[in-house]
Amino acid sequence: MANAVSLVVSFGGSAALGLAYWSIAAHQHRQVDVGKSAAMIAAMILIAAISQLGYGALFQRQLPLAGRHSARLIVRAYVVSTTVGVLLSTLYVWSGLARHFLPSGSHWGLIFVISTGLWTIFALQDNALVALRASRWVPVENILYSLAKLALLPFALWGTSASGLFLTWMAPIPLALIGVNWFLFRVHLPRRMKEELPTEEMEKGRSLWSMTAAQAVTTMLSNVSGSIVTLIVLAHLGGAANSIYYVSFQIVLGPMMFLWSVSRSLLVEALHEPERMNRHTRRGLATTLVILLGTWIVAVPLAPWVMLIFGHSYVSSGTTLLRLQLLALPGTAVTAFYTAYAWIDKKLWSLTARALISLVVNISVLELLIDRFRLAAVGLAAIATAVIEVTLFLPMTWRRVRQELRPTTR
């Protein structure tokens, strides 16, 4: 599963460099400033994710079989999603919802809006590369981007700390967009058109709108969950606590993305090579178990030393939170596999139901416990959500896995 290997390398390299970025930021800046910059970045990523309208996942289902329609599908996604992103971010700034973290001055509102539009394309282009089996370029792009923002970090002292961190986060994006899309449209797609590839009639009409709507709602619910946690922590516990939550989540995000990379690769490979689904499923299961066990064996016992990278103040409040979030990873593993098979079977509204259930459980438990357990409540909410996800979706997912593992399905 070359796609999975490339994505693991990408997420692993990006996660390591991301830890270095936030570690240096935590030592150079006050916790409250790190928390505000984290909220600014989280809000931008949330709006960009909603603005993608599910095109990222749609790429992985349709681009492998889109043939000569591939470029048109990608361009349409870029235009529609960027337009929605600009409109939503403008409304967000105008409504005053960003006043808790956005620096004063109208130019900062404009910077936030432009950044959201750029980030929307930045996220979509990675999905296009994976779907078109050009995933070996994803780690190159993401690691170079992470190195660039790390190199720019000393310049974050310009202006306020929060605004400076946000600028270092966004400054390398335009070059990444130019480089990747030049390769995509000038090199990879023309080369792909010369190959004999499987083709399938593109979804259209009511079927296409149903798929797009289902994934758009699912994406919105999934991303709202993570961003709302940031805003709840900021509102209840303040910017300093939010910085601790944010850096702990960046650590957990590494293995989470590894698990989702297995799901994405399983989907793409199943569409390219349906006759080898048995093999792809076995490899996906083995990789998932290695990620889960490896994370628990290494990261859970070493949680205090991992948090120490960011400073002593992060250890006392963040160690328990980090451990609880790591223990909740089976929920991600189950939902990742469940998502891959739902896309293969075109049962996308079931994903919407899954995302809604997870959102309701996570936010409800967090609001119920945060005043009593403070930051640990975030981890307890993650555990509760994982229990619900495993209970509801593991039986269905395992039945689907067993179906693919039967010799008669090869």
pLDDT in tens, 18-62: 778 888 887 777 777 777 788 888 888 888 988 888 787 778 777
Q: How many domains are there within the chain?
A: 1
pLDDT at site 409: 43
Identify residue 175 by its one-letter amino acid code.
L
Distance CA 201, CA 316 (A): 56
pLDDT digits (tens, 9 = 90+) for 76-132: 999 999 999 999 999 988 888 777 677 777 788 898 999 999 999 998 998 888 888
pLDDT at site 410: 41
Q: Counting beta carbons within 10 angstroms of the beta carbon of residue 167, is it exposed (0 to 12), middle (13 to 18) or buried (19 or more)? A: middle
Which residue range forms the structural domain that includes residue 81?
Answer: 2-409
**Is the Cβ–Cβ distance between 212 and 200 less than 8 Å?**
no
pLDDT at site 237: 87
Distance CA 266, CA 340 (A): 7
Distance CA 44, CA 135 (A): 25
**Is the Cβ–Cβ distance between 115 and 90 less than 8 Å?**
no
- The whole model's pTM is what? 0.69
Helix (H), strand (E) counts: the chain: 17, 0
Considering only CA atoms, which of 270, 263, 280 is closest in space to residue 333?
A: 263
pLDDT at site 268: 72
Instruction: Give whole-number Cα distances, 55 to 68, 75, 364, in Å.
Output: 18, 11, 29
Structure tokens at 380: 């307890």
pLDDT at site 208: 61
Distance CA 58, CA 254 (A): 23
Q: For the chain, list residues with pLDDT below 50.
A: 409-410
**Is the Cβ–Cβ distance between 115 and 163 less than 8 Å?**
no
**Is the Cβ–Cβ distance between 63 and 199 less than 8 Å?**
no
pLDDT at site 29: 75
Identify residue 78 by its one-letter amino acid code.
Y
Considering only CA atoms, which of 233, 224, 188, 265 is closest in space to residue 360?
A: 224
